[in-house]
């Protein structure tokens, strides 16, 4: 269970150096527990509990049996034995996890000379918006909205046609949107759009009919 929970956190972008496991001493254990391990995260204010995993033995099911009168024993056909299963309880605090992933993702990067961008490097699966559709001009908003409508059938997507394209990129960086999709005047001719990656800021040109599958594939978990 410890390996499974650690792999889950790492796969969503949590750095190994910001996470440690602490086993409870005998004096800390609850009366029903054989063992308990806490995952602790290095918050800006210090190490704090993120996720507890407790071996609650067969206490819970025996209490259910006692008070409900139901037989909750498991029969093992290989050993021909009846026994009451142990319960393993992974208890993750949602508010703590949200804070940890915000801390993990937040960054201020120097871009060019004297320019700083604030960015949330969320794993795409955790990002509130998976993509943002940005028409280069408001004259293109109607056509761009067709792509927006197609995308929002499969994921959360934003639409922004206000301000310069550079400022709109920055706004999406600040809320952790992994991909910005720019619909420009060339899109009217070649049927393609420009997709910008949040983390690398690199851009590619992609046919409009491939955009939905491109975003879906990169936001899987």
> Is the model more confident about 31 or about 132?
132
Domain check: are 133 and 194 in the same one?
Answer: yes
Is 115 found in the same domain as 93?
A: no
What is the per-residue pLDDT for 112?
76
Confidence of residue 93 (pLDDT cuts 50, 70, 90): confident
What single DSSP character describes residue 161? Answer: -
Q: 73 with 145, same domain?
A: no
169 and 76 part of one domain: no
* pLDDT in the model for residue 85: 95
Quote the domain boundaries for residue 17. 2-104
User: Does residue 120 share a domain with residue 149?
Assistant: yes
E strands present in the chain: 19-23, 35-43, 46-55, 74-76, 81-83, 88-92, 106-110, 116-120, 131-135, 157-159, 179-183, 192-197, 203-207
Phi/psi for 217 (5° steps) reads -65, -35
From the number of C-beta atoms within 10 Å of its C-beta (0-12, 13-18, 19+), residue 183 rates as buried
Q: Dig out the tokens for 65 from the structure.
A: 């049996």
State how many domains the chain has: 2
Mean pLDDT in residue range 147-160 = 96
Band of residue 44 on the pLDDT scale cut at 50, 70, 90: very high
**In this predicted model, what pLDDT tens digit does every residue of 28-43 receive, in sequence order?**
998 889 999 999 999 9
Q: How far apart are CA 108 and CA 117, in angstroms?
A: 6
- What's the pTM? 0.86
Q: Where are the alpha helices (DSSP H) in 35-153?
A: 59-68, 94-105, 141-151
Residues 19 and 86 in one domain: yes
Give 201-215 pLDDT, tens digit per residue.
999 999 999 999 999
Which residue, 73, 104, 135, sits at the end of a domain? 104
Q: Are residues 51 and 116 in the same domain?
A: no
């Amino acid at each position: 269970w410890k390996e499974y929970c650690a792999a889950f956190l790492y796969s969503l972008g949590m750095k190994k150096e910001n996470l440690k496991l602490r086993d409870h001493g005998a004096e800390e254990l609850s009366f029903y527990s054989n063992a308990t391990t806490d995952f602790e995260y290095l918050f800006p204010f210090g190490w704090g509990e993120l996720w507890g995993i407790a071996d609650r033995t067969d206490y819970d099911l025996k209490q259910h049996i006692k008070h409900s009168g139901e037989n909750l024993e498991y029969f093992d056909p290989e050993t021909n034995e009846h026994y009451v299963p142990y319960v393993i309880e992974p208890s993750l605090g949602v508010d703590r996890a949200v804070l940890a992933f915000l801390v993990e993702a937040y960054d201020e990067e120097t871009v060019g000379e004297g320019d700083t961008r604030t960015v949330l490097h969320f794993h795409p699966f955790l990002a509130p918006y998976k993509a943002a559709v940005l028409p280069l001009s408001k004259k293109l908003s109607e056509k761009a909205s067709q792509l927006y409508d197609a995308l929002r059938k499969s994921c959360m997507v934003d639409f922004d046609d206000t301000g310069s394209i550079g400022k709109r990129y920055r706004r999406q960086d600040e809320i952790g949107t992994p991909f910005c999709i720019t619909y420009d005047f060339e899109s009217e001719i070649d049927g393609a759009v420009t997709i910008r990656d949040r983390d690398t800021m690199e851009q590619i040109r992609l046919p409009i009919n491939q955009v939905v599958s491109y975003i879906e594939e990169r936001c899987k978990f």
